Amino acid sequence: MACSATAKILQPLSIRSAEKSQSCSKMLSPSSFLGSTPLPKKLFSVNKTISPLARRSATIVAVSSDVVKEKKLKSTQNLLITKEEGLVLYEDMYLGRAFEDMCAQMYYRGKMFGFVHLYNGQEAVSTGFIKLLKKEDCVVSTYRDHVHALSKGVPARQVMSELFGKTTGCCRGQGGSMHMFSKEHNVLGGFAFIGEGIPVATGAAFTSKYKREVFKEDCDEVTLAFFGDGTCNNGQFFECLNMATLWKLPIVFVVENNLWAIGMSHLRSTSDPQIWKKGPAFGMPGVHVDGMDVLKVREVAKEAVSRARRGEGPTLVECETYRFRGHSLADPDELRDPAEKAHYATRDPITALKKYVIENKLASEAELKAIEKKIDEEVEEAVEFADKSPVPERSQLLENVFADPKGFGIGPDGKYRCEDPKFTQGTAQV
């Protein structure tokens, strides 16, 4: 099991060759939580290089810092989470899983269509990061955004309605699976093209800085941008890393590296597969963390988010994670090695957290079962709600194209088209 987070802070002009390999190779049992000891802040300044030739394979090559190795030998009395936090994390991850499983069922029953990308297996990243945020903080995601929206607080019934294409959906049925937006919960989407959302997240972080420096408000809002390994070869990613560091924007770039971009293996498409190293190239810390372990993700997230809140600038966090299902519900998922899938199945973040909570006597099995039951009911109820909701009327077609509908222009009769009664019926000529 990959352990710990390795991080570097390089001064932007330092010349550091990454040839020397000082890593330790360990195969640790899947369920041991090395992160059960608090990771010190110093972790972010540990300088360790690992060979650029190290490849992730079924045998996990782990990198650990000496600091964490020492801590491991001490007693594990200090737990990372309280009971309340543990239950919140468990509930959120279970919600994500139950919801996505229900999506698959509904899709195959013909209730939703198009491209639906499920998040099974990656819940630790969403829960680990988003549960640390305030309501005013912003989250930007890609097409695999259902669970990010749920973690941020968008009610399950609104997300399910959106997937069914009903007016009660969070985007009135106009967005769909890949475009989850919520102004109330500051979910800024939901983008179909990868990389497209990263500049939007950078802009939201810019607004936060603007509020602080131009409006002189006490603003410490942070933005999180989630995206995958495939996106890290895209120009917009690098352009935004540059601008975020340049202006010290309060943003955290979270890479959900699940090794596969549809059928393209990360190792086949990337010259240097270690994405966390791209952070220091632009002057920001790059951190690598085990994304199947919600507690480790949470520790790293705490530091990255508070760095941003303090105004120290952006962080790049690479979460090593895995999706249990195909890229989308239309993906037959034939290219991935069954052994790889089996290996990661044993590292299921929900089972791992459950084990941790029970072993450390934070909660009983019965309490967890009660949460599961509650969530199952919530998801069932969301489906019922979505089923019963109305489909959009024709009059909704032309609404929301423009914030100011005068943008449709002036018709031959001299009136603005939006004043035409046919407009509200959706049958106007525009």
Partner 1 sequence: MAAMLQSIGVASASVTFSNHTNKLTSSSVHSLPVIRSEARTISGAINGSRKTGKVITKAVAAQAESPASAASKPGHELLLFEALREGLEEEMDRDPRVCVFGEDVGHYGGSYKVTKGLAEKYGDLRVLDTPIAENSFTGMAVGAAMTGLRPIVEGMNMGFLLLAFNQISDNCGMLHYTSGGQFTIPTVIRGPGGVGRQLGAEHSQRLESYFQSIPGIQMVACSTPYNAKGLMKAAIRSENPVVLFEHVLLYNLKERIPDEEYVLSLEEAEMVRPGEHVTILTYSRMRYHVMQAAKTLVNKGYDPEVIDIRSLKPFDLYTIGNSIKKTHRVLIVEECMRTGGIGASLTAAINENFHDYLDAQIVCLSSQDVPTPYAGTLEEWTVVQPPQIVAAVEQLCK
Residues that bind partner 1 (CB under 8 A): 138, 140, 169-176, 179, 181-183, 188-193, 196, 198-211, 213-215, 235-236, 239-240, 242-243, 246, 399-404, 406-417, 419, 430
We find the least distance from the C-beta atom of residue 93 to partner 1, in angstroms, to be 27
Asked if residue 120 lies in contact with residue 97, where contact means CB atoms within 8 angstroms, the answer is yes
Q: Which is nearer to partner 1, 69 or 212 (CB)?
A: 212
Exposure of 43 by Cβ count < 10 A (0-12 exposed, 13-18 middle, 19+ buried)? buried
- In whole angstroms, give the CA distance from residue 267 to residue 277: 15
- In whole angstroms, give the CA distance from residue 179 to residue 143: 7
Q: Which is nearer to partner 1, 166 or 347 (CB)?
A: 166
- In whole angstroms, give the CA distance from residue 329 to residue 114: 9
We find the least distance from the C-beta atom of residue 408 to partner 1, in angstroms, to be 6
Q: Which is nearer to partner 1, 339 or 403 (CB)?
A: 403
Q: Which is nearer to partner 1, 69 or 172 (CB)?
A: 172
Q: Which is nearer to partner 1, 50 or 156 (CB)?
A: 156
Widest CA span in the chain: 82
We find the least distance from the C-beta atom of residue 231 to partner 1, in angstroms, to be 13
Q: Which amino acid is at 124?
A: A
Strand, coil or helix: what is 79?
coil
Q: 142, 287, 325: which is closest to 226 by C-alpha?
A: 142
- In whole angstroms, give the CA distance from residue 324 to residue 331: 12
For residue 286, list its beta bridge partners. Answer: 8, 316
Q: Which is nearer to partner 1, 172 or 355 (CB)?
A: 172
We find the least distance from the C-beta atom of residue 365 to partner 1, in angstroms, to be 41
- In whole angstroms, give the CA distance from residue 70 to residue 84: 29
> Which residue's entry shows tokens 């942070």?
222
Helices and strands: H and E segment counts in the chain: 14, 10
Q: Which is nearer to partner 1, 182 or 258 (CB)?
A: 182
Q: What is the DSSP letter of 261?
A: E
We find the least distance from the C-beta atom of residue 205 to partner 1, in angstroms, to be 8
We find the least distance from the C-beta atom of residue 392 to partner 1, in angstroms, to be 10
Q: What is the DSSP letter of 153?
A: T
For residue 140, list its beta bridge partners. Answer: 225
Residue 28's contacts (CB-CB under 8 Å, 6 or more residues apart) are 1, 3, 34, 60, 62
Inter-helix orientation angle 294-310/349-359, to 10°: 100
We find the least distance from the C-beta atom of residue 226 to partner 1, in angstroms, to be 14
Q: Which is nearer to partner 1, 170 or 317 (CB)?
A: 170
User: Read out DSSP for 183-206?
Assistant: TTTTEE---SSTTSHHHHHHHHHH
- In whole angstroms, give the CA distance from residue 403 to residue 176: 20
We find the least distance from the C-beta atom of residue 317 to partner 1, in angstroms, to be 20
Q: Which is nearer to partner 1, 108 or 210 (CB)?
A: 210
Q: Which is nearer to partner 1, 35 or 165 (CB)?
A: 165
